[in-house]
Amino acid sequence: MSVGFFAAILAFSAPAFAQDAGGAAAPAPAAPPLASVLPPNAPPTFADLAEKQLDAVVFISTTQAPPQGGPQAGPRGPELPGFPPGSPFEEFFREFRDRQRGQPQQQQQQQAPRPTAALGSGFIIDPAGFVVTNSHVVSEAAEISVTMHDGTKLPAKLVGVDGPTDLAVLKVDTKKPLVSAPWGDSEALRVGDWVVAIGNPFGLGGSVTAGILSARQRDIQQGPYDDYLQTDASINRGNSGGPLYNLNGEVIGINTAIYSPTGGSVGIGFAIPSSVARPVIEQLRDHGQVRRGWLGVQVQSVTPDIAESLGMQEPAGALVTSVSPEGPAGKGGVRQGDVITRFNGESIEQMRELPRVVATTKIGSAVPLELLREGKAETLTVTVGELEPQEQVALSGASGAPRPETTVDTKQVLGLTLSQLTPGLRDSFSINPDVEGVVVTEVGDASAASERGIEAGDVIVEAGQEPVKTPEDLNRLVDDARSQGRKTVLMLLSRDGDLRYVPMPIEDRKG
């Protein structure tokens, strides 16, 4: 180590002096006490909160069935005593042990696969032994264990899971009442308020971190009901499922995800707010499953281009792309192309708000629904149905569809090469028999259509909210929009049976 390094340490650690009027060295003024530099309302310590709530936070380990197919290369070997599986210390000491034995990991003898273990966090919500965690912590688990803060390890039974909100409820049997964490109101929390996270990062055991609420209503594209709280309290792998507290020691969030290019905390963590989690948890605890309201529509966001196409002053609401005829919305009079602006008295400013509001509405209740139709406001009444679990069906994408080999008449409109639908084109692009419109056979690489994600095989069903049967229909509707001073024309596209609206710029042309 260099002399310069030690000099830097000495310079940093030596007491500072100032010159007095006579030139003599005098001690520098003492640093102000910590209390004087903290914000006025900052708590001097989180120790009381941590002391009360550590016993309510548990550490969850799961054992998953080993992969099938015989021995695997590069096994990790037997577990090391004293280190939980998945902990960073486990891997470090395994490599050290292997070097001491002269056995590089690459040359270890193949062994049969063993069950894999995962680590996470959770918290007790009922002294009877009900525990909350994330569903991704316990998914596909063959065995689940819950370890209390005092080291007591108990087997846990899965009561229920809810994939859309990434929540799960476990149950442990215990002879004594357990310390439970109280729920708090996440809606009362303000951006900038203090929050405290407790969990099991990297399998190290109970860890307490503090920070502030950084933002609300984050959509991180994890599910249809995303409404995450964002915090800079340190959250890492193993914190998933742990509680996020307010200063009253109440759970206002469930730590679920982090944003990180490295896999470690960079001060951007996300928690499910208690306002979303608590109703789901109560249904899982009482019934083992979640019942949600259902409207029977597919919707998309209203972008500025779409708003301009529809003659709206501001982009807001949820644009209906399809309606189930036998669903609550269809029976209530909702149509394709309507923009839903309020549901059951709650304003719908963004598309993603509608699924959450509908899901939490009482099934069977008749509620008002406000919408814009052709620029005019209307109010309908719909009876909320129940959302049934649907099987996920893998569909082939149109992006990889082959170019048609048959010769067809085509027309260029807005940089798109279009053709009427023929049996050959339906087969070439795997277009459903019930889809009508004009098919896109080619998209220019640098065109506006390409920038908006239009692909060969897409079917233009409507333009300007009118049906399109031929390429000439689309050309006429584009001219109509241009004559009305529109900058875009709103097109309804079908791809693999799914509908979506795309605002296409109207390019000036000559001749």
> pLDDT tens across 452-479, in order?
888 888 999 998 888 888 888 888 888 8
* Helix, strand and coil in the chain, % to nearest 5: 20, 30, 45
- CA trace torsion 185, 187, 192, 198 (10° rounding): 40
CATH class of 403-505: mainly beta
Residue range 411-447, pLDDT digits in tens = 788 878 888 887 767 877 888 888 888 998 888 766 7
Task: Identify whether 136 is a catalytic site residue.
Answer: yes
Alpha helices (runs of H) in 160-230, residue ranges in sequence order: none
Adjacent-strand bridge partners of 492: 462, 501
Q: Which candidate, 180, 201, 24, places its Cα nearest to that of 121? A: 201
CATH superfamily of 186-287: Trypsin-like serine proteases (2.40.10.10)
Residue 113 neighbours by CB under 8 Å, 6+ apart: 66, 67, 70, 71, 72, 75
User: Measured between alpha carbons, how far is 219 from 468 in angstroms, rounded to an integer?
Assistant: 35
Least confident of 151-160, 197-206, 250-259: 197-206
139 is catalytic: no
CA distance 248 to 257: 24
Instruction: Output the pLDDT for position 84.
Output: 44
Count Cβ atoms below 10 Å from residue 114 Cβ, excluding itself.
16
Q: Which two tokens stand for residue 282?
A: 């109560």
Where do the H-state alpha helices sit in 269-321? Answer: 274-287, 304-309
Torsion of Cα atoms, 402 then 407 then 408 then 409, to 10°: 130
What CATH fold (topology level) applies to the domain 293-386?
A: Pdz3 Domain (2.30.42)
Q: What is the mean pLDDT of residues 253-260?
A: 89
Res 136 pLDDT > 60:
yes
- Residues 60-83 have pLDDT tens digits of 998 876 555 443 333 333 333 444
Average pLDDT of every residue of the chain: 78
DSSP secondary structure, 347-377, as one string? E--STTHHHHHHHTSPTT-EEEEEEEETTEE
Tens digits of residue pLDDT in 15-47? 333 333 344 445 555 555 544 455 566 667 899
Phi, psi of 457 (to 5 degrees): 105, -15
Give me the pLDDT at residue 294, please.
Answer: 93
CA distance 253 to 187: 11
pLDDT of residue 393: 25
Q: Is the pLDDT of residue 94 over 60?
A: no
> What whole-number distance in Å separates Cα of residue 300 and Cα of residue 349?
12
Backbone phi and psi for residue 199, each to the nearest 5 degrees, phi listed first:
-170, -160
Q: Which of 299, 356, 294 is nearest to 327 (CA)?
A: 294
Residue 346 CB burial class (10 angstroms; 0-12, 13-18, ≥19): middle
Whether the predicted pLDDT of 270 surpasses 90 = yes
- The pair phi, psi for residue 171, each rounded to 5°, is -135, 130
Domain boundaries defined on the chain: 186-287, 293-386, 403-505
pLDDT in the model for residue 409: 56
**Helix ranges (DSSP H) in 38-182:** 47-53, 88-101, 135-138
**How confident is the model at residue 510, as a pLDDT?**
37
Averaged pLDDT for residues 243-255? 95
Q: What angle do CA 289, 65, 221 make, to 5 degrees?
A: 50
The active-site residue, picked from 87, 121, 162, 166, is 166
Give the list of residues 6+ apart from residue 47 with CB closer than 8 angstroms, or none. none
Which among 135, 136, 207, 473 is annotated as catalytic?
136
Is 50 exceeded by the pLDDT of residue 405? no
* Active-site hit among 145, 180, 207, 240: 240
Quote the CA–CA distance of 332 and 326 in Å, as a whole number: 10
Active site residue 409: no
Alpha-carbon span 139 to 107, nearest angstrom: 33
Element (H, E) at 393: none
pLDDT tens-place string over residues 305-350 = 889 888 888 899 999 988 988 899 999 999 999 999 999 999 999 8
Q: 0.75 exceeded by the pTM?
A: no
With beta carbons less than 8 A apart as the criterion, state whether 498 and 298 touch.
yes
Kindly tell me the number of DSSP H helices and DSSP E strands found in the chain: 12, 29
Question: In the prediction, which pLDDT does 114 show?
Answer: 53
Report pLDDT for 254. Answer: 96
Instruction: Output phi, psi for 319, to 5 deg.
Output: -85, 125
Matching fold, domains 293-386 and 403-505:
yes
* pLDDT tens sequence across 202-221: 878 789 999 999 999 888 77
Rounded distance between C-alpha atoms, residue 120 and residue 204, angstroms? 11
